Amino acid sequence: MEIKYHNHTKRKKEAMDLWLRVATDYNNGLSATKIAKRYTNPKTGKPYTREHIYFILRKLSESPKA
């Protein structure tokens, strides 16, 4: 059964999926610049910046571990 998320929860889930893909790419040895060129911001249609990739990695490292 597919769960229908409300808007906030859906955006949060999609963002976390992107964040985990970015972390996986970074752990596999890709540079932040290459990762930034690989993904496109759906709201603006432009690639993410290198600074945003570092922001994602910092937020994931600061988050509490399960």
Q: What is the pLDDT of residues 6-61, one digit of tens each?
A: 788 888 888 999 999 999 999 999 999 999 999 999 889 999 999 999 999 999 99
pLDDT band for position 1 (50/70/90)?
confident
pLDDT band for position 65 (50/70/90)?
low
Per the structure, the complete domain to which residue 48 belongs is given by 30-66
Residue 13 lies inside a defined structural domain of this protein: no
Domains in the chain, number: 1
Nearest to 19 by CA among 65, 66, 56: 56
Query: What is the Cα–Cα distance from 27 to 56, expressed in whole angstroms?
Result: 13
Query: What is the Cα–Cα distance from 42 to 59, expressed in whole angstroms?
Result: 20
Residue 50 lies inside a defined structural domain of this protein: yes
Residue 20 lies inside a defined structural domain of this protein: no
The answer to whether the pTM exceeds 0.85 is no
List Cβ neighbours of 59 (8 Å cut-off, separation of 6 or more). Answer: 19
Q: What's the confidence (pLDDT) of residue 45? A: 93
